[in-house]
């Protein structure tokens, strides 16, 4: 039986592997908790699930066996008596011989809830997909002419990744020929210093696969740095701002996050404009839950854009596993044995299986108007 604990790095969580695990029966259990207090209330939440499954003895049996797996995982992982960080996610399915857990640095949140116990035919991946989308790894470059700190932010965890000494003297007034020689020497030192920062950044980006950089610090140093940045690194810069570098790393990262999230919102709006333009010109785009779902089933989707708090219900057939929008009878085999599911979660699962990207956005008026979900298509 697969049994291990993930370290909590969001970008290392293999959603595709979890997405591949699926059954026609509701035999998969997904548990998210955001605190030790809520973990202690596991049995209380389990009682509610038992009540809901009281008329389905087979599914109740699956649930009890899976809950036992979750409790064993918590005990063996050392989390039953306490855990640090912002949350845990545990996935169990005895029928598939599977148990796995993820220690989270950021608390999951779906709607108003951070704590979830879900029974379904597949694992509930939406909260993890939202966290991966929102909390990408990035670098903060905190630079002035004396020194540079490069801070790596991974899954909201902060650590100093590198340090570059500059020791470029401040400008002074000398006058005459000596002033010009001094200025030329200083400019060369600043240029060499910026090149060195660029080289350190390149190494970090290549080593960790990072594609986002925020620049903070003195105007003079940042201008010089931007002039020498490799084209790839320059494309990764998502924000730039003067900042007081005497602050600690946490304060600097807080400033960086403001720029980072502002860029995220702009990218969401830009994606919507691309979808809107393609759709209006009868191009490669579609809108609405049912049409996006159908395109995902065919592997036609490149990017999905969905409102973060969208509540879109669908159904899955017990007999043939087909997923629909809202009908109470399977449109494929005619069975009336269907159960409800979160259609956004199903879109996440299908997107993982077809290497499509799901972008969760703040509310956008036009997107809301077409049903809170739209997509760019591959063909």
Q: Return d(Cα 147, Cα 246) in angstroms, integer.
A: 12
What pLDDT is attached to residue 168?
67
10-residue mean pLDDT profile of the chain (379 residues): values are 54 91 90 83 90 92 96 86 79 95 78 76 94 91 92 80 70 57 82 94 93 94 95 95 88 93 95 97 96 96 96 79 69 71 94 97 96 97
Tokens 């701002």 belong to residue = 241
pLDDT at 5: 44
Residues 6 or more apart in contact with residue 276 via CB below 8 angstroms:
285, 366
Dist CA 88 CA 127 (whole Å): 11
The dihedral region occupied by 355, where left means phi > 0, alpha psi between -120 and 50, and beta the remainder, is left
Question: Which sign does the torsion angle of CA 353, 261, 342, 25 carry?
Answer: positive
Question: In the prediction, which pLDDT does 42 show?
Answer: 86
Q: Identify the pLDDT of residue 38.
A: 78
What is the reported pLDDT for 11?
Answer: 80
Q: How far apart are CA 68 and CA 64, in angstroms?
A: 6
Angstrom distance (rounded) from CA 314 to CA 318: 13
Nearest to 28 by CA among 102, 93, 117: 93
Handedness of CA 276, 277, 281, 283 (dihedral sign): negative
109 contact partners, CB below 8 Å, separation of at least 6: 127, 130
The answer to whether 102 touches 30, Cβ cutoff 8 Å, is: no
Decide if 275 contacts 361 (C-beta within 8 A). no
Instruction: Output the six-digit token pair for 112.
Output: 């108003």
Its pTM stands at 0.85
| Residue in this structure with the two tokens 């064993």, named with its chain if needed | 72
Which 3 state secondary structure label does DSSP give 190?
Answer: helix
Burial of 36 (0-12, 13-18, 19+ CB in 10 A): middle
């Amino acid at each position: 039986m697969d049994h291990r604990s993930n370290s909590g790095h969001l970008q290392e969580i293999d959603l595709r592997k979890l997405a591949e695990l699926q059954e026609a029966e509701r035999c998969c259990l997904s548990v998210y908790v955001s605190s030790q207090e809520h973990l202690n209330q596991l049995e209380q939440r389990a009682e509610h699930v038992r009540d809901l499954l009281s008329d389905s003895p087979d599914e109740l049996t699956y649930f009890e066996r899976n809950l036992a797996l979750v409790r064993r995982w918590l005990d063996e992982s050392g989390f039953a008596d306490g855990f640090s960080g912002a949350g845990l996610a545990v996935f169990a399915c005895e029928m598939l011989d599977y148990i796995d857990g993820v220690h989270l640095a950021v608390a999951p949140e779906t709607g108003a809830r951070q704590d979830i116990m879900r029974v379904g035919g597949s694992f509930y991946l939406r909260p993890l997909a939202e966290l991966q989308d929102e909390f990408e790894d990035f670098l903060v470059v905190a630079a002035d002419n004396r020194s540079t700190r490069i801070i790596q932010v991974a899954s909201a965890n902060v650590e100093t990744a590198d340090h570059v000494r500059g020791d470029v003297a401040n400008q002074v007034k000398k006058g005459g020929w000596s002033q010009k020689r001094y200025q030329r020497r200083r400019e060369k030192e600043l240029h060499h210093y910026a090149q060195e920062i660029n080289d350190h950044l390149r190494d970090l980006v290549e080593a960790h696969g990072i594609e986002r950089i925020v620049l903070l610090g003195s105007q003079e140093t940042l201008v010089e740095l931007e002039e020498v940045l490799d084209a790839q690194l320059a494309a990764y810069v998502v924000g730039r701002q003067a900042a007081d570098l005497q602050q600690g790393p946490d304060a600097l990262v807080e400033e960086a996050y403001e720029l980072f999230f502002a860029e995220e919102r702009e990218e969401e709006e830009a994606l919507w404009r691309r979808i809107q333009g393609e759709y209006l010109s009868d191009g490669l785009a579609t809108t609405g839950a049912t049409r996006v779902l159908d395109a995902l089933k065919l592997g036609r989707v490149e990017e999905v854009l969905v409102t973060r708090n969208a509540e879109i219900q669908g159904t899955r057939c017990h007999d043939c596993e087909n997923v629909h929008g809202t009908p109470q009878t399977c449109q494929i085999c005619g069975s009336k044995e269907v159960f409800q599911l979160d259609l956004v979660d199903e879109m996440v699962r299908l997107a993982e299986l077809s290497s499509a990207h799901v972008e969760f956005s703040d509310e956008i008026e036009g997107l809301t108007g077409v049903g809170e979900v739209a997509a760019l298509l591959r063909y």
